[in-house]
């Protein structure tokens, strides 16, 4: 009963305005409070009880709102896991209506109620602005306009206090999908754009059997669509015309089902929603074509990789103990197995996977390429790759958390005699020598952050702009190329 006090106070005030005496108005207020029942009395006096259950105290009362990609499967599972870890008995999520579920947990005389509303990433920021939701779920990064709108609403400084406000809980790739019978194996990102803008209309152009290309896309409220529109379509106005012939979906699962039933179809969806009923297409962006695998998405070298975010008002993170504990759990090692079970890419810091060193195409014959091959030959790359805020050497929110996650494993590896090298990379704009220095400075910045956490003995190298993972023609590609990789060479006996 969030509005009980306001309602009763308003009725009493109206009585005073109507000429009723102060004592009579008070008696009216008291009578209404008694009539409203124990739950309303508890709400007024600060003794929050679970709705309709006298003596049961509500201890969570939180709402997560926004991304369907996060809210449909991942958030309910992680909320349940956290409550179980906190000794709550949890019932199966209750579906309130399409895209909305409630998770209940009970612990003695305590009730924990968490509502999850999944209607698109754009809704997360609207509900954070209004104060309806404690946690916003978004499958794209917050925009400068949304940051300003939140500031204007006194919701906090989501840029200046990003460490409190922005949290990455997993990664995902947006897969380009077709019917399984389509022989297409890979596409340049530029051709994906042409197809979805209606500039390529027949499958024969791509070596498939002739026939019209049919477009399947998420709806405008979807963070999946917004990310695709920004990253792949580069906000091209031609989409306004092309979308008239596209089939649009609120649900990723429904989109996949439809593509699997249409031999002429092409669509895009989060990798976690891909089923054997459809085929994934590898995508290139000026370099090699990558399938959206765990390795390529974790390193963000797959061209349509994305982060899955939680956004919280900074003051809520300080004051709401349940919210801050839940957010910490959802990006902690305790959540990794569940994230992977649901086919997202977890934030595991140091899965020593064999890396195909030829996956990154360097400009052979250059000093930087020789350095890169010498460092990576026989070594293994850390799962995470460190990236920065635009036009700076300041680590972004995922990189800050990855530092903490990687500290323990790196210390252990160094203690066993491993050699760890940080290789900095830059985009391809400007002078090559300057880019070599910038790349080295980025690697040195990461080394400095690790040393502040007590990790010493890391070596630094620069590959400059000679080993890109994306084209430098757009800002998204340049941002992908500005990175620091961590390579580990184990001692051999």
Q: pLDDT (tens digit, 9 = 90+) per residue, 341-371?
A: 998 999 987 554 544 444 678 888 999 999 9
Share of the chain above pLDDT 90, in %: 65
Q: What is the pLDDT of residue 350?
A: 56
Q: Above 50 in pLDDT, residue 411?
A: yes
Q: Above 60 in pLDDT, residue 26?
A: no
Say which residues have a Cβ less than 8 Å from residue 91's Cβ, sequence separation at least 6: 104, 105
Other CB atoms within a 10 A radius of the CB of residue 422 amount to: 24
Report helix angle 4-17 to 38-45, nearest 10.
90
CA 463-468-469 angle, to 5 degrees, is 135
Pairing of strands 57-58, 110-118: parallel
Mean pLDDT of 105-110: 96
**pLDDT category, 50, cuts 50, 70, 90?**
low
**pLDDT category, 97, cuts 50, 70, 90?**
confident
Q: How far apart are alpha carbons 204 and 198 in whole angstroms? A: 15
| Closest listed residue to residue 465, CA positions, set 384, 391, 360 | 360
**pLDDT category, 149, cuts 50, 70, 90?**
very high
Residues 305 and 296: beta-carbon distance below 8 Å = yes
Q: Above 90 in pLDDT, residue 398?
A: yes
Mean pLDDT of 301-318: 95
**pLDDT category, 493, cuts 50, 70, 90?**
low
Q: Domains in the chain, start-ordered, CATH in brackets?
A: 4-45 (no CATH), 57-171+306-341 (3.40.190.10), 172-304 (3.40.190.10), 357-489 (3.30.1330.60)
**pLDDT category, 296, cuts 50, 70, 90?**
confident
Q: Above 50 in pLDDT, residue 427?
A: yes
Q: How far apart are alpha carbons 145 and 159 in whole angstroms? A: 11
Q: Above 70 in pLDDT, residue 72?
A: yes
Q: What is the pLDDT of residue 423?
A: 97
Q: What is the pLDDT of residue 36?
A: 42
More confident residue, 34 or 488: 488
Q: How far apart are alpha carbons 248 and 259 in whole angstroms? A: 12
**pLDDT category, 81, cuts 50, 70, 90?**
very high
**pLDDT category, 8, cuts 50, 70, 90?**
very low
Pairing of strands 89-90, 62-66: unpaired
Q: Above 60 in pLDDT, residue 472?
A: yes
| Closest listed residue to residue 175, CA positions, set 67, 68, 283, 74 | 283
Q: What is the pLDDT of residue 117?
A: 96
Q: What is the pLDDT of residue 329?
A: 97
Burial of 302 (0-12, 13-18, 19+ CB in 10 A): buried
Alpha-carbon dihedral 443, 448, 452, 458, rounded to 10 degrees: 60
Q: How far apart are alpha carbons 120 and 248 in whole angstroms? A: 13
């Amino acid at each position: 009963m969030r509005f009980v006090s306001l309602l009763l106070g308003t009725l009493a005030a109206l009585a005073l305005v109507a000429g009723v005496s102060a004592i009579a108005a008070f008696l009216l207020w008291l009578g209404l409070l008694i009539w409203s029942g124990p739950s309303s009395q508890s709400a007024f006096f600060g003794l929050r009880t679970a709705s309709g259950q006298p003596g049961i105290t509500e201890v969570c009362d939180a709402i997560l709102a926004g991304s369907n990609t996060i809210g449909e499967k991942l958030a309910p599972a992680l909320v349940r896991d956290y409550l179980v870890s906190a000794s709550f008995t949890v019932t199966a999520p209750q579906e309130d209506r399409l895209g909305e579920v409630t998770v209940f947990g009970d612990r003695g005389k305590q009730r924990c109620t968490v509502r999850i509303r999944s209607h698109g990433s754009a809704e997360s920021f609207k509900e954070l602005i209004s104060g309806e939701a404690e946690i916003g779920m978004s499958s794209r990064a917050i925009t400068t306009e949304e940051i300003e709108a939140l500031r204007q609403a006194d919701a906090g400084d989501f840029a200046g206090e990003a460490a409190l406000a922005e949290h990455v809980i997993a990664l995902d790739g947006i897969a380009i999908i077709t019917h399984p019978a389509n022989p297409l194996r890979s596409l340049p990102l530029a051709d994906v754009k042409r197809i979805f803008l209606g500039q390529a209309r027949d499958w024969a152009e791509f070596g498939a059997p002739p026939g019209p290309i049919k477009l399947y896309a998420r709806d405008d409220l979807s963070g999946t669509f917004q990310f695709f529109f920004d990253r792949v379509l580069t906000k091209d106005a031609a989409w306004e015309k092309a979308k008239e012939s596209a089939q649009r979906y609120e649900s990723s699962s429904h989109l996949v089902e439809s593509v699997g039933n249409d031999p002429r179809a092409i669509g895009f969806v989060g990798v976690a929603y891909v089923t054997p009923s459809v085929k994934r297409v590898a995508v290139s962006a000026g370099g090699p074509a990558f399938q959206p695998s765990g390795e390529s998405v974790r390193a963000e070298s797959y061209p349509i990789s994305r982060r899955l975010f939680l956004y919280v008002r900074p003051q809520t993170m300080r004051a709401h103990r349940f919210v801050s504990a839940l957010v910490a759990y959802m990006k902690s090692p305790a959540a990794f197995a569940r994230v992977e079970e649901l086919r997202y890419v977890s934030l595991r810091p140091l899965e020593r996977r064999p890396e195909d060193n030829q996956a990154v195409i360097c400009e052979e014959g250059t000093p930087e390429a020789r350095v890169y091959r010498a460092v990576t030959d026989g070594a293994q790359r850390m799962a995470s790759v460190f990236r920065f805020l635009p036009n700076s050497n300041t680590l972004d929110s995922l990189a800050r958390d990855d530092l903490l996650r990687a500290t323990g494993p790196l210390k252990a590896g160094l203690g066993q005699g491993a050699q760890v090298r940080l290789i900095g990379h830059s985009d391809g704009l400007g002078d090559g020598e300057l880019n070599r220095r910038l790349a080295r400075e980025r690697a040195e910045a990461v080394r400095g952050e690790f040393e502040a956490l007590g990790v010493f003995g890391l070596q630094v190298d620069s590959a400059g702009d000679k080993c890109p993972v994306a084209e430098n023609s757009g800002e998204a590609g340049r941002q992908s190329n500005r990175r620091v990789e961590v390579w580990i060479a184990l001692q051999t006996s």
